[in-house]
Structure 1
Amino acid sequence: MNQLKNFTQSGAAPFIRNLLAAACCLVMAQAGATGFITDARQISDQEVRAGEGYYRADGKWLVYQAEVAGENPFYQIYLKNLASGKVQQVSPGIGKTTCSWVHPDQEKVLFSSTHDDPEAKAKMIAEIEQRKSGQRRSYAWDYDEFYDIYETDFEGKNIRNLTSTRGYDAEASWSPDGRLIAFASNRRAYLEQLSSEETALFNQNPSSMIDIYIMDADGSNVKRLTHTNSYDGGPFFSPDGKRIVWRRFSENGQEAEIFTMNIDGSDQKQLTRLNKMSWAPFYHPSNQYIIFATNVQGHRNFELYIVDIDGKKEPVRVTEEDGFDGLPVFTPDGQYITWTSDRTPDHKGRLFHGKWNHEKALENLGLK
Structure 2
Amino acid sequence: MACVSVVAACGGGFGEVAVAGEPERVPAHRDWRELEAPLLTRHVKLTDESRFVKAGEAYFSPDGSWIVFQAVPVPPEGEDASPHYSMYVAKLAHDEDGRVAGLEGEAMLLSPPGSANTCGWFHPQFPWKVMFGSTLVPPAADDRPGFQVGTRRYVWQFPEEMEIVQRSVPEIWHDLNMADEPQPEILPVTTPDFGEDAVRPVVIFEHPGYAAEGSWSSDGRFILYTHAGAPEGGGRPEGNLWIYDADFGTREPLVVARGYDGGPFFAPDDSMICYRSDRAGDNKLQLFVATLARDEATGAITGVGREVQLTDDGHVNWAPYWYPGSGTDGEGRAHGALAYTSSRAGHDNYELFALPIDRAMAGAALRRGTPGGVSPRRLTMADGFDGLGVFSPDGRHLMWTSQRRELGLPGSGSSQLWIAELAEGATAADLTGPLAARQAELLAIAEAEVDGLEVAGVVAQSESFGGEWLVTLTPGDALAWRARTYRVRADGHCERVRDGGV
Q: Would you call these one fold, judging by a TM-score over 0.5?
A: yes
Distance 1:142 1:265 in 2: 26
Deviation at 1:308, TM superposition (A): 1.0
Per-residue CA deviation, residues 131-171 of structure 1 (Å, 9 max, x unaligned), is: xxxxx976633211111110110155252212323211111
Distance 2:73 2:430 in 1: 41
Deviation at 1:342, TM superposition (A): 1.1
What does residue 91 of structure 1 align with? Answer: 111
SS at 1:66's partner residue?
Answer: strand
What does residue 419 of structure 2 align with? Answer: 353
Aligned in 2, Cα 1:31/1:239: closer, same or farther, shift over 3 Å? Answer: farther
What does residue 305 of structure 1 align with? Answer: 353
Structure (1 or 2) with the greater helix fraction: 1
> Gaps (5+ residues) in structure 1?
1-26, 129-135, 191-198
Q: Bigger shift: 65-74 or 305-314? A: 65-74
Match of 2:251 among 219, 222, 231: 222
SS at 2:250's partner residue?
Answer: coil
Distance 1:99 1:220 in 2: 22
Deviation at 1:307, TM superposition (A): 0.5
Per-residue CA deviation, residues 161-190 of structure 1 (Å, 9 max, x unaligned), is: 123232111111111121111101113x47
Distance 1:58 1:34 in 2: 26
Match of 1:365 among 425, 432, 437: 432
Distance 1:122 1:210 in 2: 19
What does residue 74 of structure 1 align with? Answer: 84
Per-residue CA deviation, residues 303-330 of structure 1 (Å, 9 max, x unaligned), is: 1110011314321111122221100001
What does residue 4 of structure 1 align with? Answer: none
Deviation at 1:127, TM superposition (A): 7.8
Match of 2:323 among 284, 298, 305: 284
Deviation at 1:274, TM superposition (A): 2.0
* Count of residue pairs the alignment pairs up: 316
Distance 1:149 1:244 in 2: 19
Aligned in 2, Cα 1:223/1:93: closer, same or farther, shift over 3 Å? Answer: same
Give the structure-2-normalised TM-score.
0.58
Match of 1:332 among 367, 390, 393: 393
SS at 2:276's partner residue?
Answer: strand
Match of 1:238 among 257, 264, 267: 267
Match of 1:146 among 152, 155, 161: 161
SS at 1:33's partner residue?
Answer: helix
What does residue 42 of structure 1 align with? Answer: 45
Distance 2:357 2:321 in 1: 10
Aligned in 2, Cα 1:114/1:61: closer, same or farther, shift over 3 Å? Answer: same
Which residues in structure 2 correspond to 1:237-256 (within 5 Å)? 237-256=266-285
Distance 1:219 1:169 in 2: 19
Asked if the contact 1:31/1:319 (under 8 Å) is kept, the reply is no
Would you say 1:175 and 2:206 are equivalent positions? no
Larger Rg: 2
Distance 1:127 1:332 in 2: 35
The alignment yields a C-alpha RMSD, in angstroms, of 2.8
What amino acid sits opposite 2:352 in the alignment? L
Deviation at 1:73, TM superposition (A): 3.9
Match of 1:160 among 194, 202, 220: 202
Give the structure-1-normalised TM-score.
0.78
SS at 1:234's partner residue?
Answer: strand
Distance 2:404 2:52 in 1: 15
Q: Bigger shift: 265-274 or 94-103? A: 265-274
What amino acid sits opposite 1:362 in the alignment? A
Would you say 1:213 and 2:255 are equivalent positions? no
Per-residue CA deviation, residues 214-261 of structure 1 (Å, 9 max, x unaligned), is: 112479221211121211000011111121111111332331111111
Asked if the contact 2:118/2:132 (under 8 Å) is kept, the reply is yes
